[in-house]
Chain A
Amino acid sequence: MRLSRAEYKEIVRWTEKLRPTRRCMKILKDKFPSHSQSTLLSIFSLEYQKWIKRTFSRHHVPDVIESYYQRYLSEAKAQPTAPVLLELANEVDLSPALMARIILDRFLQGQDGGMPSKSVLNSMLKEPSLIPDQILASNVYQCTINDCCYGPLVDCIKHAIGHEHEVLLREKLKEKNLSFLDENHLRTMGYDKTPDIILEVPVAVEGHIVHWIESKASFGDDQSHQTYLNEQFWSYWNRFGPGLVIYWYGFIGELDCQRDRGILLKDCFPTDIVTLCHATQQDRSPESQNKDKE
């Protein structure tokens, strides 16, 4: 879905009031019924991440962490079955999954004194049953499943969605009989930068030549698009020429301004594809003769 910047800003304005909960997602959806849910969710997620990035440092200070931890300890003691950590996260405006991470981190430090390794921490977040403390385990679990922006679950979903769209893209290409090399091929050939797809024979989409296709299962907003441009899209252009980016969950329409420079944005697999057609060769040759005669 291609949004104008004004539309996008309107949505962003609304997301500011929302928290990463299912209920909030419902509110957003009801507010903008004409937009697809995944677009709204993606925009929200991006906005929320930006907000968290801005505010996280506020929480990630030793004495603040300590105070959260102490509150958790006392409240968990009082109500062992209640989702105290989740409530705490909501209360202090921190992503529940991040809150769980902070508290778990603090808990592990308290257990053996040293800094726990990242992999241990990650595996415990993914699999709370590994956490030695039962109550903490259930609290962490509640946090991760109730956070739709952060946490191992969300990462997993994102990864799956990304993969799904790559598969989808490949299928569409096969359907259209367009042969291509994918990332894995390219790596083995020693390419230093690899888009998802390189077409063996370029096509034209809406009149623009396309050599490569990059699939992005997210919404293209200013910030992410700028980052992608610098780190990926221009690099692809620099090596393979013009190409196509598909933001499956839409993008800000105004960002699609580099078409003439070789970066085309779409929110779906394009329909207007022109391939090299040599079938019409017979029709073409008389024309060229006429031209020659003139």
Chain B
Amino acid sequence: MAALLESLLSQKVDIIKVVEWLKSAGDEDKLSISELGLTVHKEEFVPFLLNFLREQSSQALTHGPATPAKTPSRPRPASASGGNGTRAASRVQLFSPSFVPASRPSGSERRGGQRIMLGDYMVSPPDFQHRRGGHYIDETGGRRSVRGGEGYGRIIEQVSPPSVGQLNFNNLEEFPPVGSSPISPAASKPTRRINPTPVSAERPRSKPKTCFTSTPFSKPSSPLSGVVPLEGSMTGGSSLSLQEERELLKKEKTKRAQQVGSPQPSSLEPCTPTKTVLKTGSKVTPEQQTTCPEPSKVTFSLELDLLVELYSTCISENLVPNIFLELFFVMQLLTSRSPHTHDDEQESLCAAHSHSGVQPVHNCVYFAVKVLENQFQLVAHLDKCTLRLLAENERVASFSPHLRDLLTQAQDKSTAKVTELYLSTFIHSVPFQPDTDNRSNFSSDKAFHIFKKQRDIFYEVLREWEDFHKEPGWNFDTALGNRIRGMMSQMTSAGNHSHFARLFLKQLIQMCKGPRVNSTSGDAPDADLLGMLGAEGLGRLKRLEERLIQPHGVVGPCSPPSFPGYQEFFRDFLQAASCCQLNQHLQDSLCQQLLQLDEVSILSPPASICERDKEEEEEDGDMEQQKQRFSSVLLLARLLAKFLGFISFLPYQTSEKPSREIQDTAIALRSKSVPVLDVCAVLRNSIRRRHTILTVPWLVEFLSMLDFIGPRLLCYRTTLGTLLLFACRKLVLDRCEEMCYLNKLLMVSVLGWLFQIPVIPEDIFFTSEFTEVAKVEESDINVAGLDCIPLVDQQLLYTCCPFLGEFRKLLAAFVSGSTAKSGGIIRKITPTSAELKDTPAAHRSQQKLQVDLEQAFFHNQPPSLRRTVEFVAERVGSNAVKHMKATLVNELVGRGEKMLRDGLGSPNSNPSKLNDSICAQLCDAGLEALARATRFCCEKSPEAIRILLPHETSPTVLATSENITKRLATEKACSWLSANITGNYIAVGPRTDKELPTGSQLLTLLQKVGETLSCRKVRQRETSVIKLHRIY
């Protein structure tokens, strides 16, 4: 491994050959280099490379959370493969002159000690070795084939996060590479110079298994400049009241920290082991006296370029477990500060290469900028704010003006904002529907009356939770446990579980389906505020609040699975109830609903796909609606899958990883029973039907709830392996295949996240063993599945992967830290009094109210009413468009053609002016289409509604339904028409003077216009939309 890298760096081996090898799909696993007598496996080389890079840069990365990929995290390169190769490779100190891995203990030394390096088990987990009887390959890199299985077990046990104490990130004892055992005497080798930092008292005995990446730390020693609300340097002439406010903020901060940290009473708490970590975040408080990186001071640029190429290839080819983790690492390098280097005699060891003045930060930044350039396509898909921060980053500017320009351009294209908080101002209850809820649906009067009470108790408990769960010291089980269990026992006697399960799920969906509703009534905005600011303003307010309360809480891109917002209530409720009957009913129902959602098929003719990709600027009402529906189905499926996973694996959750014996017994036991959901079949089927963009994200949610043993069961192992293979084969971002970029990106991102979760075994990524059971079948080419439709947008990506927001935080933290020197931008928060902007605000709140009223209307009506209304609106709107195209548009095109011919015929015609005038005239005429379409919709909608709704529907309900249908249909038709008639004329026309058309060009132009107007879209999508409707 190391030998290969060294040969590469010294140019003995051609980089092209290696890159080709990395790119070659799965089958070419081994690379043999005869000159060197080397055989290298991909699954060994990649983690080695990742570890090597982290090791090399460990000095510079003194800020932000650690980014060890769970798998290829930060272990020393030397130990990753041990042996002589290491020594050689690490002689080149690319980033960090003061650190010499050659002096690390060699593999054989370590064997005696307790240090198990990540690289070791990544490649060959002892478990598998034992089980598979020597499958593990000893010949590849001087690794030892025999190692205590004990090490493996220990590593995984250490999932608990550290408390934020006095941590010195530079100190590898404090921040050991993943997998190294905790404070072990063997750790400090005499040969290595480290500043011995006493382990502070607060630190828990168990070390973080840094695998979970978001290890927070702070450097209390560094000045706190730039961190907004901390007292200290910025307080200046603070008045008393300001001071008070600060105190308040501080209190609030502590309160939040407690909330997040404390209420985890249950050891059953399976999947949020790092919950404390979540919000505590690390404060990025860079040191002041850092070196300013300069391109001219970069050393080893040749070697760095080679590394960039290798690294980029790994990222592009999905060979890394989590591309965003790598990107985060790169951004950390970009924003790294070089601490004052300890003058270190060990430097002499690499004296051959290191000049006296080498500042690692130059190389770090150089490397980072190069990688960013290389991965520009990926970077360009980040949110606008992140792109702006990158573009404004002075290091990017000085190292690569080209990249800066690209970023500036990309900003304009990046459409979506970072998820605006979806604020449901009102949480609705589940409506009472006589059809399903009245007496005739119950077995006895008693059951009916008991359920009446249970519904009320359920909501009472929910309200109480809303009111108190954020209070310090409040405990779910203590406060509500008995009431819930009492309710459960009553339910058992009455046999009402199915009714309650339905209520529970409906309420869950009601409250948690939207993208991250994290408002609980406590911080729910009051309506006045909402009216004043509008939802968007309120979202901003919310973010401001977050910033004030927890500045720069950068936690890294791999947050552990969690139950945000109201989801927490439902999880805690299930835990407190611990009612197996209820769980069974919920499971049944969740499975059914999930599979139903997964069956949603959207058929879109493959022909229009490629064309569509290029015409992104074009607004298409149909497409938008389709996207919205897809995103709604996807988010719902993810929610349901998470809870299905939670309930299914609840009985097996343990806080600690069980011992090998227990595991083996458990595997033997559990492999006999049928898993709740045949995930393998679901996945295979989905791949075949090209449906993965829907299935994979929810499967990931389901699997993220696995217990420690789950991943070792054949079905889940196979699924994980299949997902892995799928990611490598099908989701390579740069290859323009049948799948759209953002679709792929979403899947890559959630999969990367999944592979970082503690319960998912570390070995899965870098072993061939794991994937052997898995196969990725070829998808059926005749099926045009969802995968080929651009359904994912940035908004959805960020909703599903909130951790992507970490990039922005990291960069913003850097900005605020570096401003003093560079004159960068501190985004100061200047409080101003809110002014009521009369008319627009009032207008907006009126509009919002109307929308709310419409939603409320459907709330208490049977669900079929809503489906009917939406269906009819869809059809009528579509028909209106067709009708317009057949009549008005046809006529317009004809008229335009005639005008053009006449115009060109006249003696001194100016084609460009002619074009303009015709376009203007036709546009005006085009507006007529809107009025006509509106008339069409208003006429046709009521007829259809009247026929389709039950005869007994009350006149008011009927009239309201008709009106809503009219409105929806008109909206649909008009938005399509305005986008495609008025919009396209302008879009198709010449944009610059150079493009000024000649007469013949104008004719083609007009033809195009005609085509644009008369072709496409409408008919094609209808079928799929309708299908979505039914489900939804």
Measuring CB to CB, which residues of chain A are less than 8 angstroms from any residue of chain B? 179, 189-193, 198, 200-204, 207-209, 211, 234-235, 237-242, 259-262, 274-278, 281-282, 284-286, 288-289, 292-293
Contact = CB atoms under 8 A, between A and B. Distances in A.
Contact of A201 (B619, B960, B982): B960
A203 B963 CA distance: 15
Q: Considering residues A259, A278, A293, which has the most beta carbons from chain B within 10 angstroms of its beta carbon?
A: A278
Nearest to A279: B963
B966 A281 contact: yes
Nearest to B967: A281
A261 B955 CA distance: 30
B459 A260 contact: no
| 6 tightest Cβ-Cβ pairs between the two chains A and B | A190-B438, A278-B963, A239-B432, A179-B956, A289-B978, A202-B856
Given A192-B452, A276-B857, A209 B964 contact: no
14 contacts: A190-B434, A192-B449, A207-B849, A238-B455, A242-B426, A242-B428, A260-B425, A260-B521, A260-B524, A262-B426, A274-B850, A276-B854, A292-B975, A293-B978
B960 A237 contact: no
Contacts of A261: 463, 521
Interface in B433-447: 434, 437-440
B456 A234 contact: yes
A288 B853 contact: no
A288 to B, nearest CB: 5
- Majority secondary structure, B binding face: helix
Given A191-B432, A192-B448, A207-B849, A179 B854 contact: no
B218 interface: no
Contacts of B438: 189-192
Nearest to A277: B850
A54 to B, nearest CB: 28
Nearest to A207: B527
A282 B982 CA distance: 19
B99 to A, nearest CB: 53
A262 B521 CA distance: 11
B182 interface: no
B954 interface: yes
A204 B845 CA distance: 12
A289 B978 CA distance: 7
Contacts of A239: 429, 431-432, 455
Nearest to B428: A241
Interface string B960-981: 1001101100110011001100
Interface string B509-553: 000000000000100101100010000000000000000000000
B853 A202 contact: yes
B759 to A, nearest CB: 37
B460 interface: yes
Contacts of A288: 971, 974-975
Contacts of A262: 426
Contacts of A201: 857, 956-957, 960
B619 A289 contact: no
A240 B860 contact: yes
Contacts of B452: 192-193
B522 to A, nearest CB: 11
Interface of B: 425-426, 428-429, 431-432, 434, 437-440, 448-449, 452, 455-456, 458-460, 463, 521, 524, 526-527, 531, 619, 621, 845-847, 849-850, 852-854, 856-857, 859-860, 930, 934, 938, 954-957, 960, 963-964, 966-967, 970-971, 974-975, 978-979, 982-983
A9 to B, nearest CB: 25
A281 B970 CA distance: 9
B930 A209 contact: no
A276 B930 contact: no
Contact of A198 (B857, B860, B982): B860
Contacts of B426: 209, 242, 260, 262
Given A237-B459, A293-B978, A293-B983, A190 B960 contact: no
B853 A209 contact: yes
B853 A274 contact: yes
A239 B463 CA distance: 14
A201 B960 CA distance: 8
A219 B776 CA distance: 71
A276 B429 contact: no
Nearest to B845: A207
Given A193-B432, A193-B452, 16 more contacts: A189-B438, A190-B437, A191-B434, A192-B452, A201-B957, A201-B960, A208-B527, A209-B426, A237-B429, A238-B429, A238-B458, A239-B431, A276-B963, A278-B967, A282-B934, A285-B970
Q: Considering residues B439, B531, B857, B930, which has the most beta carbons from chain A within 10 angstroms of its beta carbon?
A: B857
B845 A293 contact: no
B8 to A, nearest CB: 51
A237 B428 CA distance: 8
B853 A293 contact: no
A281 B426 CA distance: 25
Given A201-B960, A207-B531, A189 B434 contact: yes
Contact of A200 (B432, B456, B619, B954): B954
Contacts of B979: 292-293
A256 to B, nearest CB: 13
Contacts of A278: 963-964, 966-967
B857 A202 contact: yes
Contacts of B938: 281
A50 B983 CA distance: 72
A204 B954 CA distance: 21
Nearest to A200: B956
Contacts of B854: 276
A192 B439 CA distance: 8
Given A234-B460, A288-B975, A260 B526 contact: yes
A237 B938 CA distance: 35
A202 B851 CA distance: 12
Nearest to B962: A278
A275 B956 CA distance: 12
A238 B975 contact: no
A191 B452 CA distance: 10
Contacts of A281: 938, 963, 966-967, 970
B976 to A, nearest CB: 9
Q: Considering residues A208, A261, A262, A289, which has the most beta carbons from chain B within 10 angstroms of its beta carbon?
A: A289
A292 B978 contact: yes
Given A202-B857, A288-B971, A192 B432 contact: yes
A203 B853 CA distance: 7
Nearest to B848: A207
A275 B849 CA distance: 9
A193 B451 CA distance: 12
B848 to A, nearest CB: 9
A275 B854 CA distance: 10
Contacts of B857: 201-202, 276
B971 A285 contact: yes
Given A179-B954, A208-B527, A276-B853, A240 B974 contact: no
Contacts of A234: 456, 459-460, 463
B856 A211 contact: yes
Contacts of B460: 234
Nearest to A179: B956
A209 B856 contact: yes
Contact of A241 (B458, B527, B859, B978): B859
Contacts of B964: 276, 278
B930 A240 contact: no
Contacts of A235: 455-456
Contacts of B849: 204, 207, 274
